Amino acid sequence: MYTEKVMDHFSNPRNVGEIENANGVGEVGNASCGDIMKIFLKVEDNIIKDVKFKTFGCGAAIATSSMVTELAIGKTLEEALVLTNQAVAEALDGLPPAKMHCSNLAADALHEAIKDYQAKNS
């Protein structure tokens, strides 16, 4: 059902935790299935220097959260804003169709964190 990459990011998630004094925080959730994702950013000179996440949800939710942090680190805010949930799923070599709607909210959480950063620094 899950790809090797999904299982790897679920079993060995990258960038788990919180960033103290994060300058951008985004949280999204899907009430119908219970997945909740929170992304913390440290941005310097328009570059995402650090990203951490906390996710409550299924294995796919944890894997997508882990993958989006890997994709975002080192990108400009503009580059990170064009990351989509589909791009996250593709980076994991796909997700089962039943998991796309609820478990793959990671890019949305990243975008919310960026919007939070921009609102605080405009």
Selected catalytic residue, list 43, 67, 102, 113 = 102
- Structural domains of the chain, ranges and CATH numbers in brackets: 4-120 (3.90.1010.10)
**Is the pLDDT assigned to residue 34 strictly greater than 90?**
no
The Cα–Cα gap between 42 and 21 comes to 8
58 catalytic? Reply is: no
The Cα–Cα gap between 90 and 83 comes to 11
**8 Å CB contact between 95 and 19:** no
The Cα–Cα gap between 118 and 39 comes to 15
Higher per-residue confidence, 15 vs 97 = 15
102 catalytic? Reply is: yes
pLDDT digit string (tens) for 56-72? Answer: 988 999 999 999 999 99
Q: Determine the pLDDT at residue 77.
A: 98
Between 22-36, 59-73, 76-90, the lowest mean confidence (pLDDT) is in: 22-36
Q: How far is CA 72 from CA 1, 33, 94, in A?
A: 26, 25, 18
Tokens of 84: 């989509």
Selected catalytic residue, list 7, 25, 33, 87 = 33
Band of residue 101 on the pLDDT scale cut at 50, 70, 90: confident
Q: How far is CA 122 from CA 27, 45, 49, 117, in A?
A: 20, 13, 19, 9
The Cα–Cα gap between 52 and 27 comes to 12
Q: Of 78, 81, 99, 80, nearest to 89 (Cα)?
A: 99
